[in-house]
Amino acid sequence: MATERLRAIVEHADTGSTTDEGRRRAVRLVAVHPLRAADTLQLAAALIWSEEQPHGAAFVCLDSRLRDPAQREGFEIKP
């Protein structure tokens, strides 16, 4: 059952790879927020996805080390 749910999630997920644009954003984020490398890339990807307009966009995260910087960047944190 869990495998089927995971397969369904992966089939409908948007994926991407780190780009020069993502790396530039990550460098800025690390300078501004106390983030770990993977968290920095995740937040950079979210900013690219939102076209640098995160206000009103949902950011789903349970990790407070990532939630706080995402909120400061303008995302609406869920849950």
**pLDDT given at position 8:** 76
| Spacing of C-alpha 6 from chain mean position | 19
**pLDDT given at position 16:** 63
Q: Phi first, then psi: what are they for 56, rounded to 5°?
A: 90, -15
**pLDDT given at position 6:** 66
**Which tokens is 37 given?**
């490398």
pLDDT in tens, the chain (79 residues): 777 876 777 777 666 666 888 888 999 999 999 999 999 999 999 999 999 999 999 999 999 999 999 999 999 999 9
Q: Which residues of 2-24 are buried (b: 16+ CB within 10 A; e: fewer)?
A: eeeeeeeeeeeeeeeeeeeebee
